[in-house]
Structure 1
Amino acid sequence: MGRHWDRLDESLRPQVQASTEEFARVRPELEKVTREMQSTIREVFRDAEPAPLFVAARTKSLESFRDKAARTMPAQEPGHPPVLEFPDPLRQLNDLVGVRVIVSLPHEIREAAHLLKRQRREFDCRSDREKDIGYIESGTYGYSSRHLIMRTIQNDVVKEYQRVLGEPAKPNGSYIFEVQIRTILAHAWSEIEHGIRFKAADPRAWSPYFDRQFIATAAMLESVETVFSELHERYEAVTGYWDEDGEGDAPLTPNRIREVWQTLLPHVDRKADDDWGWAAELLAAHGLRRTIELAGLLEADAITKVRRALEHRYSPGPDRLLDDVLLWRFGKRHIELTAGDDNHRRESLLRRHRQMEAYRQAHEDDA
């Protein structure tokens, strides 16, 4: 059963039923168009980086077609019965064939859309709409999705479908269909929501609680995707630090040290000021002047061992922890290069060095 069909005026039912029967007749050929669109779009993404998780497709079901064909709108003249919104649904509906491109992260939606829109030998993009923009501007929540309305160009499978459909359609290979691009989390949310909200067996069973919970889960989904996006950006940044010909070769200015530190060790950023000059001096004393060298120094296992060796009473800030890591790496050479005439600092470094050596001896088997 369908919401629109169930409420449709009796005078309009024969027209909708006739369209549905015509759709049932040509649907097997339309399924071939669906498979062709799915195959073509999969081929578009075959060498893409990053590639979508998967490309799915579906041909509209008879029940869904009939219900959408039964949509009405008020008559232009008062007192007249409503009229069908789609009097010729086989030629007016753009979603009889639908393709879904499912990606991992929100930024990949944009990349996938741009790639599809560049396939001008295969498709012509007639419309491009970002569903999440409406939610943002209205202050509400829902799943994010990019909706493209595409038109095929001189497609042979489409021509065969048009021959079966017959007049007034001409077999020119031009057919309009829909492509939705969304993340895997948004896809799961929308599938569950659609199954409960739009396919409910009895609309009287609906409760406002359902609406509230769907809105709440959409908000949580947005938060989770934001975290995943931030993790991806951080991972890309960290990967760049190990590129000797790119980001890894960037010089270690105080600002660069701060950036690298806050990316690699955001949980250890307890500096009371914004001056990273001393950190730069410590690194320069050992000839460490490139980003890749700092990334190698701030290796997680070494930091863990330093913490255990010194048993810090208070969590150290970046300057102190960097000093300790350099002492762990270079030993007494670090003392000679950085203590100078400061006897207090020299004694402190010597004491910490003894603790480190004792820890090393006690944990030789862990080295």
Structure 2
Amino acid sequence: MASNWDRLDVTQRDSVQESVELYERVRPALKLVTREVLQILRTMLKDTEVTPLFVTGRTKSVDSFREKIARTEEPLEPGGPRLLKFPDPFRTLNDMVGVRVITKLPAENALVANLIKRQRHLFDCRGDREKDIGSIESGTYGYSSRHLILRTIQNDVVKNYQQVFNPEVQPNGSYFFECQIRTVFAHAWSEIEHDIRFKAEDPRAWTPHFDRQFTATAAMLETVETAFADLHERYEEVRSYWDLDGEGAAQLTPNRIRDVWRTLLPHVDRKVDDDWGWAAELLAAHGLKQTVQLAGLLSANRITEVRRALDHRYSPGPDRLLDDLLLWQYGTKHIDLTAEAPDAAPHPRRDSLLRRLKQIERYRQTKK
């Protein structure tokens, strides 16, 4: 497979080779710049509201640099010679130093970007864009990545590099580099896609089926990312129910009970109406008035035990299951607080609760 260098016009090779030789000379100093910005970013992101999976970086290799600056584009006038795409690479290329911040969830990309952009004493953000191969507007799929173009500010390591690059110019410590922020899923997809699509040794070894497969995997990746994002959001909501300084102290109104129930037990919602008033009355009878108390009552293990003890013929709705959970927890106290008086006639609820309590007691006997 012919490289960009191999296809380059002979008249253009001298200037490209001159840039390559200069890059080869200054690259050791540039590698120290890469190490410097990596260390700054890792320290900056440590122990913040979002900790990336990892922060990595690289200094463009000499071969990769040669290939990139040997790219050409269409001439300004038809029939003219092709033009170098990067005639002055040290001024126009921002990816000789590249950093990647790999996150777990899509929402973390924005958090990381904002954290970096706020450190204005370290970096000046000169570019911020979403790189999405495929877009919502066109109805296609691809990986999504946040790309920042950052400029260092009065950095001593950069000044050392600048002195190596051109000792006749006063160094200012400013250097442009690229910082990519993407999820681990998008990172894996892009790495594999880049190796096959852009680094393939023979461009003839390609079939439209590959495009179709990449599109399909990108669609699945988006679905997986969405599922994990939803899972994380639900986890944070459930965790908040145990925060006595926050959501856990929220009062149990009927609507609050409904929302907590549907978050914790979305698979148990057979209510024929949207009236959760009776549930609020049952809980209030036992002095359960805070969200944390309801979260504690709706223990998955307790629900499993109640289901086994009462062997429900039909899957119970929220009202019935809550009633049974309170009966399991409080026994005869629950009956006395919520059923008819012993001397009332008739007393169907008391009879039903007494029958269910006997089932629970028999079940507990078998567990001993």
Short-chain TM bin: over 0.9
Give the partner amino acid of 1:92: T
CA distance in structure 2 between the partners assigned to 1:168 and 1:139 by the alignment: 52
CA distance in structure 2 between the partners assigned to 1:246 and 1:119 by the alignment: 30
CA contact (8 A) 1:2 1:64 kept: no
- Secondary structure at the counterpart of residue 137 of structure 2: helix
Give the partner amino acid of 1:262: R
Q: After superposition, give the CA deviation of every residue in 1:281-335 in whole Å (9 maximum; x if it has no partner).
A: 1111111111011001001111010000011122111111111111111111111
Q: After superposition, give the CA deviation of every residue in 1:174-224 in whole Å (9 maximum; x if it has no partner).
A: 100000111111111111111221111111111111111111111111111
- Secondary structure at the counterpart of residue 135 of structure 1: coil
- Secondary structure at the counterpart of residue 307 of structure 2: helix
Give the partner amino acid of 1:85: K
The question of 1:77 aligning with 2:81 is answered no
Q: Specify the alignment match of 2:359 in structure 1.
A: 355
Going from structure 1 to structure 2, the CA distance change for 1:343 and 1:57 (only over 3 Å counts) comes to: same
1:346 to 350, 354, 361: 350
CA distance in structure 2 between the partners assigned to 1:93 and 1:310 by the alignment: 71
1:105 positional shift: 1.1
CA contact (8 A) 1:97 1:177 kept: yes
CA distance in structure 2 between the partners assigned to 1:234 and 1:134 by the alignment: 29
CA distance in structure 2 between the partners assigned to 1:309 and 1:215 by the alignment: 50
Give the partner amino acid of 2:324: D
Q: Specify the alignment match of 1:160 in structure 2.
A: 160
Tell me which moved more, 289-298 or 265-274: 265-274
CA contact (8 A) 1:149 1:176 kept: yes
CA distance in structure 2 between the partners assigned to 1:302 and 1:260 by the alignment: 17
Q: How do 1:257-272 residues align onto structure 2 when only pairs under 5 Å count?
A: 257-272=257-272
- Secondary structure at the counterpart of residue 203 of structure 1: coil
1:3 positional shift: 5.0
Q: Specify the alignment match of 1:252 in structure 2.
A: 252
Paired positions, count? 364
CA distance in structure 1 between the partners assigned to 2:318 and 2:4 by the alignment: 64
Q: Specify the alignment match of 1:216 in structure 2.
A: 216
The question of 1:50 aligning with 2:50 is answered yes
Give the partner amino acid of 1:336: D
Q: Specify the alignment match of 1:197 in structure 2.
A: 197
Give the partner amino acid of 1:235: Y
CA distance in structure 1 between the partners assigned to 2:254 and 2:221 by the alignment: 37
1:137 positional shift: 2.6
CA distance in structure 1 between the partners assigned to 2:131 and 2:79 by the alignment: 36
Q: Specify the alignment match of 1:291 in structure 2.
A: 291
CA distance in structure 2 between the partners assigned to 1:299 and 1:18 by the alignment: 71
Q: Specify the alignment match of 1:61 in structure 2.
A: 61
CA contact (8 A) 1:57 1:97 kept: yes
CA contact (8 A) 1:102 1:187 kept: yes
CA distance in structure 2 between the partners assigned to 1:3 and 1:42 by the alignment: 36
TM-score if structure 1 supplies the norm length?
A: 0.95
Q: How do 1:11-26 residues align onto structure 2 when only pairs under 5 Å count?
A: 11-26=11-26
CA distance in structure 1 between the partners assigned to 2:339 and 2:121 by the alignment: 69
CA distance in structure 2 between the partners assigned to 1:327 and 1:283 by the alignment: 11
- Secondary structure at the counterpart of residue 358 of structure 1: helix
Q: After superposition, give the CA deviation of every residue in 1:123-169 in whole Å (9 maximum; x if it has no partner).
A: 10001112249622322111121110000011111111111111786
CA contact (8 A) 2:134 2:142 kept: no
1:32 positional shift: 0.8
Tell me which moved more, 235-244 or 9-18: 9-18
Superposition RMSD in Å: 1.7
Tell me which moved more, 3-12 or 35-44: 3-12
CA contact (8 A) 1:2 1:67 kept: no
CA contact (8 A) 1:34 1:58 kept: yes
- Secondary structure at the counterpart of residue 131 of structure 1: strand
Going from structure 1 to structure 2, the CA distance change for 1:104 and 1:331 (only over 3 Å counts) comes to: same
CA distance in structure 2 between the partners assigned to 1:315 and 1:169 by the alignment: 79
Give the partner amino acid of 2:179: V
Give the partner amino acid of 1:304: T
Q: After superposition, give the CA deviation of every residue in 1:235-286 in whole Å (9 maximum; x if it has no partner).
A: 1111110111210110111111111011111111222222111111111111
CA contact (8 A) 2:134 2:143 kept: no
More helix by share: 1
CA contact (8 A) 1:249 1:292 kept: yes
Gaps of at least 5 residues in structure 2 are none
CA distance in structure 2 between the partners assigned to 1:134 and 1:169 by the alignment: 43
Identity of aligned residues (%): 68
1:170 positional shift: 4.6
